[in-house]
Structure 1
Amino acid sequence: MGEEHELDKQHKKKKGMKGKTKKGSVGFDRDYSSKAATGARSNGSFKGRKNVQHDNSLASTSHIRKQVDPETAQYFSEIANIFESTGVDLEERSVICGNALEETRGKEFELATDYIISHTLQALLEGCDVDHLCGFLRSCAKDFPSIAMDRSGSHVAETAIKSLATHLQDQEVHHVIEEALTMICKVIAADPVNMMCDCYGSHVLRSLLCLCKGVELEKFEYYHGVSKSLSKAERLNSKVLKGDHASNFLPGFPNVLKLLVSEMLKCVMKYNKTLQVDQYGSSVLQTVLKLLASDDEELLYAIPILLGCNEKNISEGNFIEATRVRELLNFLKETSFSHLMEVILEAAPDALYDEMFTKIFRNSLFELSSHHCGNFVVQALISHAKNKDQMELLWEELGPNVEQLFKLGRSGVITALIAASERLQIHEEKSCQFLAAAVHSADESPKWIVPRLLFLDSYFTYGDKSNWSWPSVGKMHTMGSLILQIVFRFRSEYIEPYIKSIISMEPSHLLEAAKNRGGSHVIESFLSSGASEKQKLKLAKKLKGHLGELALHPSGYFAVDKLFTLSDLSLKEAITQELMAVRSELSKTKHGPYLLRKLDMDGFVARPDHWRSKQASKESTYKEFHAMFGSGGTKSAKKGGFLADTSKHKSHPSNLKEVRKEIHKSLSSSVPFLSMSGRKRKSEKAKPKSNKDTQMGGDDKNSNREKKRSDKKKHKGGSDNVGTAKKRHRDDNFHEAPQKKLKP
């Protein structure tokens, strides 16, 4: 670590260090490292790293970078010029790369850390065969940590690892790759802390760990949500880490991985306090945990070590010592350790999770929830709650403080708590009661519950809350919209105040909400909720006359889509007629063609009667499907019904997806699902017609048949309102639509 500052000084003297990467060079974004290096560390990890640097037990061989001699520099400059020309085929390029790498022997450190030559070296490592690639790594193994911790050298090391990953599927070269990796990992294992705490070296180390597992770092982060792109919605939708996407791993090197991880954990025992609060060290440890996901035996050993527990106590099955609890609680308020603890909670086996819940978090939940870092740990804890007892403790400590947490800006904790209640089907009524009490008093009308949740920040920062009204200028709150989406999943008897509130909203407010990304999802959730048909009709009437405007909006069209899906035949026709006025503009939008196909606008314009019979046939098919596969508690259709009842529904059988596909396939044709299609084909064979006549004849028959059925029903006093089918699952739309679930 000592020589790193000297190398940085040398780099600063170089000209053009801030220039762009050459075209064709490979490696992660060079701006990434500089950003990481200058990133704010409010948790004091620089101080911790300084302690590591000055610890005598971590003294390493000093590297003084020599200047590359002019002859060698000229040679690699000529190689770079050859690569930039267009007359080199792949076979010739491979030979050139192999020969050039032979010239690097003994000079790998100087060449890899040279800003200009490092680009050429990257191109060589990309274009060479696996033997020359492994030969380069074996030759520079003793210098690999120093190369990896250099600003330019880190890109060379990263390129070498990525190139190795392209050969993982080739079993014949596995032993060659494993030999090179073993040499490198043994050097790193002798002193991993410096590399773990380095802004460049930590990234290379994470890539190396992933390679040993059998996956590239970028793919691993994408599949497992390690990157910052992991959204709040994914966590609230209960995205579980364990065993996720394990099939994406290629044959790796488990022995090498075990060697490196075991040595890293030994160093963690010695330098735990430093690594826990170091930004880069924490990132490496998070990757280790995710690579060990589903391996409970390894996790039961690794996690207590990361928490600073005594190895002797771990072997005796006592994972967390009481003396460590207060120190851990303080560490949870540090940025880097809070990130690490989130991953620990995701990966922890059930027994260890339960012990952490009881020993560390119990009686400290509100304290942590109030902290700007600790609240994210509490969200992770809630999102992975396992049973009723844990939910009891969570509600006991956090339930009475819902309003206070909203005032502190910790709405994410409340969102996670309500989502966990819905997921485990525990305390759903309590969730609704505590939430409603936080945004309106008992003597107030419930009409403002939904608007205040949509504008959480505006409401809780308003002086006289009793006089708060819908803001003319303001941004709808992401967490507030997510909370409402979850609430509308609960049983109808629990959410009556929320139903009354949303149907009491002014038409202009509903229109504004429908045009907002989060607000449109709230309206969708209400339309799919257990509210009565009459209540849903009230909301639909307020949006009538504005459906064309909404359909043109990139967020508003989702509400129109959901409204059409759940409507009866008469309202489907009204929606289609209203959208005809904006048909031309709608077809030019990104989502317009999908919506026009969904409504079958061409069919409606060409043959309205056939369009009606087709829509009726679809609804009849849905009824038949729910009669066979739907929940047992469905209600019979009511006369004049508006929307299919979706209340009190349960999940369908495991083969539901296959059944949906079959239904959608059959509905896309002119032959109704479950109809006697065999008879029709037989009659067609007996009396052949032209394609046009056959199609027209079939359509007319279907149309006449539906008219006769309708007349019979009317004569008997029945109803042809297909929207009053039996209760339907909230997600059973049976069409290939871009579904939006719990998205901010």
Structure 2
Amino acid sequence: MPKENRKRGKKHKKSAQAQRADEPEALPLEEGPKEIEDQQSGPSWIVPAQAGADEADRDAPFGYVDADIKSYFRNVDTQLKDWQENAADDGEHGGDVDPNENRRIFLMAALQEMVGQERQLSTDPECASVLERMVYSMDDFVRRVFVDSLRGSYEQLAKHRFASHVVQTLLTVAADTVSRESRGIMPAFDGNSDKGELLTLSQLVLDLVEELTPSFSSLILDQFASHVLRALLMLLAPQAFPTATHSSAAPVRSKKSAAWKTKQGPLKSIFQDTEGKGKAPAEKQTAEPSAFRNAARKLVLVLQKDLGENEVRSLAANKVASPVLQMLLEIEADQGLTDEPGSLMDRVLVGLITLHHNDPSAVPEASDFLATLFRDPTSSHLLETLIVRAPGPIFVLLWSTYFEGKLPKLALHPVANFVVAKAIGRVNEQQLCGVLEELQPSWKKLVQNSRVGVLRAVADRSAALGVQENDVCEAVFTAFDLHTPEDRKFVVQCGLRVYSLQASDSTSLESKTSGALLLQSLLHLSHPHNDAVISSIQAMSVVEIIALAHNPTSSRVLDELLQSPTVPSKAKRAFILSLIGHYHVLVDDRIGSRVGDRCWASADPYLKEKIGRSLIAHETDLAGSFYGKFFARNLNLHLLQRRPEDWRNLQASRALAARTNGDTKPPTDSTLDMRKKRKRDSAKSGDEIDVLFHEALGAGVKKGALTEVDSQPPGSAHKTAGGRTDGGLNAVLDAIQSAPKSEAFSRKKKRPH
């Protein structure tokens, strides 16, 4: 038994009788095979050696890693983690030495130790996490080598507790390499071809699909392999998950796995230049091979062939298999395979699609199986996918069979209300009217039970269709007991805390995310239907608004007030003006500084100058604030004080760059300062008298620039149409007399003592 797997504990010395029992003795002749078998078996609590061997094979199917190798990779993990956590300090302490070169040498040495031991390292509980960290820093060629080294063992690795995470991470990061290969960007390799031609990563992924296809139906139910299949489906069909990413929204990792991964620190490339090694730019991660689409289609068809209707439906409530089935339904709908009898969606919907194809006028009966999905925490997510991806006629049948007449009970259920909110996002105008009418007696109960997600879905759908907006506002007022115009001024306070006016206590209740989302949806209504929220914000004092801006939840409502296209510009301007004189307090906070940036971006040039001038007196306070100093950098208060016209030109150029989506890079204040400095240096190199003549004649002065001549009283110098000044010798003499005495004029010879 390997040393690292031995159990720790107190050793018991054998008694003399036990030692004699261990010694070989001659058996009596009369004892037969049955007696011999009983003596060899021993007591019942002794575990047979064969069972222990099976368990060892299951934990380390490819053998154990040598202790020295494990110690080496612990050091590798420590070094990589340090580089990944301190990426911001790269290149500061190396002088002329390229830090990437040292790291590349270090990584290549670690990769050399991996050769021939990839499978053993992947199944080791300590080394597996080190491989995950190394994968992010591998270049395209090394990734191909690593994937190729595991060929033929992916089924066994996918079902392993630790190796499954290595394969999952490898497939996740492989998306960048596959995208580059699809665009013809291949890594250069000058090595010999003694070991044959190395396949592209795209082809290696297709081979992996072929390897897992025979056991695909069984791997869905494996607690470790299911996560590998999710990463594989995300790689094969990213277009089926437009809102998902590899890091957040994609259903690849479980919550427990994601929490563990977060504790490992940042996982990214250790090299400064990540092009070709780490994460490629997001705009380039769009191309994938056409063969991947066919491979994803093949997996959907394999599941249809291998599993029957009841077996597919049994996956819906399974915590391990349900997320994979959900992704397969997304791929099936993306490839147009849903609206066919016998599809995966048809089987989960208990033949509803087949019934509609056979008789479009048929009225289906409610299925107990689908009714159960509404209230199950696991399968309700699958039901949401069915509702969103179902063809139009099938959704109409689902709505009339499972939603109409049952909305009050479903909307109040802690799980089913999410399904109802998702379904309301697809209703038409007639169905929306039915929702408002059916839920009219239940609005207060929804607020009392904090089920405002349904109310928010109604507001979003009303804003999208442009109908029933007044009824939605009345539903909100009814839900929060806001009957009079005076009461409706507190719609923001009640909405944020999801409490009616009579029950709310602003001093003890905190803002809730669901309430903030509801208010944001109400701001999307057309004007004047969104005026209730706007008026409620305008009725607040500055202290209350700043308190909302400093809260990470309620600040989103203020952001939406400034961003929503349906909010009148007059209301946005009034909100920005109401904070003038208090911006130094607003931006002195992590969240408030972000709201201040929103106000600055939404302000017109006149408002920006008013904000800037109101903060000149607080410039020192902003400079000393940890968050306010970043806000002050955008204002360029020093430039506003010294050269107001240049400040206005700078803001105009930035506004133009913002309108053109950043095509033109606006000049920064540092650029303007450098231009002025070069001009001053070039002027100082000549005679000071020449400089005075140069300034008096206005050489090179453009229209609109703030000059010293502009600030002189009328009559001393006059501007011509060409932008130069004209005053002749009088202007020159006035300039000399008004100029301060320089060192050249004031220097006097001193007599030695």
Structure 1 length-normalised TM: 0.61
- Distance in 1 between residues matched to 2:210 and 2:563, nearest whole Å: 59
- Distance in 2 between residues matched to 1:574 and 1:415, nearest whole Å: 37
- The CA deviation at 1:699 is 0.6
User: Which position in structure 2 is the counterpart of 1:173?
Assistant: 199
Task: Name which of 579, 594, 605 aligns with 2:641.
Answer: 605
For structure 1, the 5+ residue unaligned runs are: 1-9, 17-62, 231-243, 626-655, 672-686, 709-744
* 1:137 has 2:151 as partner: yes
- The CA deviation at 1:697 is 6.1
Say which is worse superposed, 287-296 or 89-98, in terms of deviation.
89-98
- Distance in 2 between residues matched to 1:314 and 1:330, nearest whole Å: 22
Q: How does 1:302-321 map to 2 (within 5 A)?
A: 302-309=344-351, 313=355, 316=358
User: Which position in structure 1 is the counterpart of 2:315?
Assistant: 275
User: Which position in structure 1 is the counterpart of 2:622?
Assistant: 586
User: Which position in structure 2 is the counterpart of 1:201?
Assistant: 225
Task: Name which of 488, 504, 513 aligns with 2:548.
Answer: 513
SS of the aligned residue for 2:315 comes to: helix
Say which is worse superposed, 121-130 or 278-287, in terms of deviation.
121-130
For structure 2, the 5+ residue unaligned runs are: 9-52, 77-101, 183-197, 256-282, 673-692, 715-753
- Distance in 2 between residues matched to 1:158 and 1:537, nearest whole Å: 50
- Distance in 2 between residues matched to 1:248 and 1:701, nearest whole Å: 55
Q: Which amino acid aligns with 2:491?
A: V
Q: 1:257 to 1:433 in 2, by over 3 A?
A: same
Deviations 1:268-291 (A, max 9, x none): 623244311111111111222334
Q: 1:246 to 1:290 in 2, by over 3 A?
A: farther
- The answer to whether the Cα contact below 8 Å between 1:320 and 1:356 also exists between their aligned partners in 2 is no
SS of the aligned residue for 2:470 comes to: helix
Task: Name which of 281, 294, 305 aligns with 2:334.
Answer: 294
Q: How does 1:261-410 map to 2 (within 5 A)?
A: 261-265=300-304, 266-267=306-307, 269-292=309-332, 294-298=334-338, 301-309=343-351, 313=355, 316=358, 322-383=364-425, 385=426, 387-410=428-451
- The CA deviation at 1:197 is 2.9
Say which is worse superposed, 309-318 or 600-609, in terms of deviation.
309-318
User: Which position in structure 1 is the counterpart of 2:475?
Assistant: 434
Q: Which amino acid aligns with 1:472?
A: T
- The CA deviation at 1:15 is 6.2
- Distance in 1 between residues matched to 2:667 and 2:360, nearest whole Å: 59
Q: Which amino acid aligns with 2:518?
A: I
Deviations 1:240-298 (A, max 9, x none): xxxx9992545554444333322323426232443111111111112223344532234
- The answer to whether the Cα contact below 8 Å between 1:513 and 1:520 also exists between their aligned partners in 2 is yes
* 1:187 has 2:245 as partner: no
- The answer to whether the Cα contact below 8 Å between 1:436 and 1:449 also exists between their aligned partners in 2 is no
* 1:493 has 2:528 as partner: yes
Q: Which amino acid aligns with 2:199?
A: V
User: Which position in structure 2 is the counterpart of 1:551?
Assistant: 587
Q: How does 1:660-671 map to 2 (within 5 A)?
A: 661=662, 665=666
- Distance in 2 between residues matched to 1:526 and 1:71, nearest whole Å: 59
Q: 1:484 to 1:188 in 2, by over 3 A?
A: same
Q: Which amino acid aligns with 1:426?
A: V
SS of the aligned residue for 2:590 comes to: coil
Q: 1:585 to 1:305 in 2, by over 3 A?
A: farther
- The CA deviation at 1:180 is 3.8
Deviations 1:52-102 (A, max 9, x none): xxxxxxxxxxx944559999967745655676789988778767655446x
User: Which position in structure 2 is the counterpart of 1:7?
Assistant: none
Q: 1:432 to 1:164 in 2, by over 3 A?
A: closer
User: Which position in structure 2 is the counterpart of 1:411?
Assistant: 452
SS of the aligned residue for 2:337 comes to: helix
Q: Which amino acid aligns with 2:451?
A: R
- Distance in 2 between residues matched to 1:572 and 1:90, nearest whole Å: 51
Q: Which amino acid aligns with 2:517?
A: L
Task: Name which of 149, 170, 174 aligns with 2:159.
Answer: 149
Q: Which gives a bigger RCO, structure 1 or 2 (Cα 8 Å, sep 6+)?
A: 1
- Distance in 1 between residues matched to 2:131 and 2:527, nearest whole Å: 65
Deviations 1:588-643 (A, max 9, x none): 556545533443422322145765x659x959x99xx9xxxxxxxxxxxxxxxxxx
Q: Which amino acid aligns with 2:467?
A: I
- The answer to whether the Cα contact below 8 Å between 1:576 and 1:601 also exists between their aligned partners in 2 is yes
- The CA deviation at 1:435 is 1.0
- The CA deviation at 1:508 is 3.4
Q: Which amino acid aligns with 2:433?
A: E
Q: 1:585 to 1:326 in 2, by over 3 A?
A: farther
- Distance in 2 between residues matched to 1:576 and 1:221, nearest whole Å: 41
Q: Which amino acid aligns with 1:402?
A: W
- The answer to whether the Cα contact below 8 Å between 1:670 and 1:699 also exists between their aligned partners in 2 is no
- The CA deviation at 1:409 is 0.9
Task: Name which of 692, 702, 705 aligns with 1:699.
Answer: 705
SS of the aligned residue for 2:528 comes to: helix
- The answer to whether the Cα contact below 8 Å between 2:352 and 2:394 also exists between their aligned partners in 1 is no
SS of the aligned residue for 2:413 comes to: coil
- The CA deviation at 1:202 is 1.4
- The answer to whether the Cα contact below 8 Å between 2:643 and 2:706 also exists between their aligned partners in 1 is no
SS of the aligned residue for 1:279 comes to: coil
- The CA deviation at 1:389 is 3.2
- Distance in 1 between residues matched to 2:61 and 2:463, nearest whole Å: 70
Q: 1:116 to 1:268 in 2, by over 3 A?
A: farther
SS of the aligned residue for 2:222 comes to: coil
Deviations 1:532-585 (A, max 9, x none): 888778766764543321122333345545555666777655433332233233
- The answer to whether the Cα contact below 8 Å between 1:446 and 1:501 also exists between their aligned partners in 2 is no
- The answer to whether the Cα contact below 8 Å between 1:451 and 1:470 also exists between their aligned partners in 2 is no
- The CA deviation at 1:173 is 1.9
Q: 1:83 to 1:536 in 2, by over 3 A?
A: closer
- The answer to whether the Cα contact below 8 Å between 1:76 and 1:117 also exists between their aligned partners in 2 is no
Q: How does 1:608-687 map to 2 (within 5 A)?
A: 608=644, 618=652, 659=660, 661=662, 665=666
Q: 1:565 to 1:335 in 2, by over 3 A?
A: closer
Deviations 1:514-535 (A, max 9, x none): 3323433434544677778887
Say which is worse superposed, 515-524 or 539-548, in terms of deviation.
539-548
- The CA deviation at 1:474 is 2.7
- Distance in 2 between residues matched to 1:527 and 1:71, nearest whole Å: 59
Deviations 1:147-169 (A, max 9, x none): 43332343455466568767646
* 1:445 has 2:519 as partner: no
- The answer to whether the Cα contact below 8 Å between 1:95 and 1:128 also exists between their aligned partners in 2 is no
Q: Which amino acid aligns with 2:158?
A: A
- The answer to whether the Cα contact below 8 Å between 1:325 and 1:359 also exists between their aligned partners in 2 is no
User: Which position in structure 2 is the counterpart of 1:46?
Assistant: none
Q: 1:131 to 1:486 in 2, by over 3 A?
A: closer
Greater percentage in helix: 1
Structure 2 length-normalised TM: 0.61
Deviations 1:469-520 (A, max 9, x none): 6522331232323322332343433244444433333443333223323433
- The CA deviation at 1:378 is 1.7
- Distance in 2 between residues matched to 1:585 and 1:220, nearest whole Å: 41
- The answer to whether the Cα contact below 8 Å between 1:345 and 1:353 also exists between their aligned partners in 2 is yes
User: Which position in structure 1 is the counterpart of 2:264?
Assistant: none
Q: Which amino acid aligns with 1:150?
A: H
- Distance in 2 between residues matched to 1:342 and 1:323, nearest whole Å: 20
